[in-house]
Amino acid sequence: MNSAQDVLALLERRLASFTPELKKAAAAMLEEQTAIGVSSARQMAKLAFVKPNTMVRLAKELGFKGYDDLRGLFQEDIRRGQLGGGFEDRARWLQSLSRKGELGQLYADLANVSIKNIETTLAATNQVEMQAAARTLHQAKKRYMLGVGINHALAESFCYLADMASMPIEPIPRFGSLAIDDLAHAATDDVLIAITFKPYRREVVTAVEQARRQNLKIIGISDSPASPIVLGADHGFVVDTETPQFYTSIVATMALLETLMAFVIAEAEDDVITEIEAFHERRHRLGIYMGEKNS
């Protein structure tokens, strides 16, 4: 068997043929699917009201050497986000790695997944669409950027770089405000950049829907082509967010935004470079930077 879903499908097929005790154990696994990867045989047995050895026997009935081998398959699917485990399930899995002294493997997984996320995202991104999005930003009368939660810092960073290049972007929501209120006076010559990942933030989706009703241009960045902010967007970008962590990986999103900013600068007039140089020259003059001028 190659995945947790294979195990669950086999459990469903064989459930009726199991002894009463094995049937209780199997039912618990079917009902508490995400618990398997983060629970010991004793913990799962408690959920099923059976003895721990029953969980071991069930694993062997399914073709595994023992319960730990079965659990490993579910852990892998939780890590890859292929099983419906929430943030709390991944957090428990991380703690279990630490208790077993397996953080070296976690470090390797994090490095590999981070690199893969960037590679797959940029490889799948259309260069022509990236250039078109940059031009849309240049042509806009006003620009807004919406990122909340884990994406808030990404939005603020992108707006900071845009301001440096004299292409102001307003990060929303403003303090004490709502995104839909900040867009109340936006017009058809304006553009909204929005970011959200599963589980999609309601205020971001609502703001994008409002922006569409006001005929704004939409640049949507999300983790699926079926995302409500990518579907119907003028420019939609899908990023890979896979992670062994309990929170969504944002390394590929940052790489995509840095690429978009590079295209913005490339599409700009020559005086933008002068503006950037003046920005840094002013900071050196005011003593904001330490050390040599170009350090």
Q: Are residue 191 and residue 257 in the same domain, yes or no?
A: yes
87-91 mean pLDDT: 56
Which one, of 184, 172, 171, 235, lies nearest residue 211 by Cα?
184
Whole-number mean pLDDT of the chain? 85
Q: Is residue 205 part of a domain?
A: yes
Does residue 262 have a pLDDT over 80?
A: yes
Number of domains in the chain: 2
Percent of the chain with pLDDT over 70: 85
**pLDDT, tens digit, 9 for 90 and up, residues 103-114:** 666 666 777 788
- Three-state DSSP at 194 gives strand
Q: Are residue 146 and residue 52 in the same domain, yes or no?
A: no
For 201, the token pair is 């933030």
Respond yes or no on whether the N-terminal peptide bond of residue 199 is cis (omega within 30° of 0).
yes
Residues with Cβ within 8 Å of residue 142, at least 6 apart in sequence? 170, 186, 187, 189, 190, 191
Q: Is residue 136 part of a domain?
A: yes
Domain limits at 38?
4-86
Which one, of 15, 264, 276, lies nearest residue 133 by Cα?
264
Q: Is residue 110 part of a domain?
A: no
Q: Are residue 48 and residue 137 in the same domain, yes or no?
A: no
Q: Are residue 269 and residue 133 in the same domain, yes or no?
A: yes
CATH code, domain with 242: 3.40.50.10490
Q: Which of 68, 86, 104 is the last residue of a domain?
A: 86
258-272 mean pLDDT: 83
For 292, the token pair is 């040599």
79-85 mean pLDDT: 57
Residues with Cβ within 8 Å of residue 61, at least 6 apart in sequence? 14, 18, 22
**pLDDT, tens digit, 9 for 90 and up, residues 28-79:** 888 777 778 778 899 889 988 999 999 999 999 999 999 989 988 887 776 6
